[in-house]
């Protein structure tokens, strides 16, 4: 089976479209969190110190693993930004706002 055939088969599975959309949102959030931190000129270690957590925890937050809204809010506030969460048709859509309330650019 070719990679293309395998991809078609996987995407044809029930629920695949929703799972792909969830993964896209996680990747988008991860890239925006990283861009926000890098835009603030901070390393993961420096941000971890501000948050009172370990550097691996910051890395996990940036990968969107096991993260609550409260943790995201603490993360972005430590960078001088504001977290805004919208729920649209049962799917989470997240937008990060910088200190000047402009949407943070994705990496």
Segment 55-72 shows an average pLDDT of 88
pLDDT value of residue 59: 94
Structurally, how many domains does the chain consist of? 1
Is the pLDDT reported for residue 51 higher than 70?
A: yes
Q: Which domain CATH number covers 74?
A: 1.10.260.40
CB of 35 within 8 A of CB of 105?
Answer: yes
Give every CB contact of residue 74 below 8 A, 6+ residues apart in sequence.
Answer: 51
Is the pLDDT reported for residue 86 higher than 80?
A: no
Is the pLDDT reported for residue 8 higher than 90?
A: no
Does the residue 106 lie in any domain?
A: no
Q: Using CA of residue 60, residue 65, residue 69, residue 70, what is the dihedral sign?
A: negative
The DSSP line for 50-95 is: HHTS-HHHHHHHHTT-S--HHHHHHHHHHTT-EEEEEEETTEEEEE
Segment 38-57 shows an average pLDDT of 96
End-to-end CA, the chain: 34
Segment 88-93 shows an average pLDDT of 62
Does the residue 58 lie in any domain?
A: yes
């Amino acid at each position: 089976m070719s990679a293309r055939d395998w991809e078609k088969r996987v995407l044809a599975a029930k629920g695949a479209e929703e799972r792909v959309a969830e993964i896209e949102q996680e990747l988008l959030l991860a890239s925006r969190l990283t861009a926000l931190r890098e835009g603030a000129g901070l390393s993961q270690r420096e941000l971890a110190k501000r948050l009172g957590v370990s550097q691996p925890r910051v890395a996990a937050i940036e990968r969107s693993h096991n993260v609550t809204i409260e943790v995201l809010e603490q993360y972005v506030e430590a960078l001088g930004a504001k977290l805004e969460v919208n729920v649209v048709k049962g799917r989470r859509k997240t937008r990060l706002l910088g200190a000047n309330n402009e949407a943070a650019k994705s990496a």
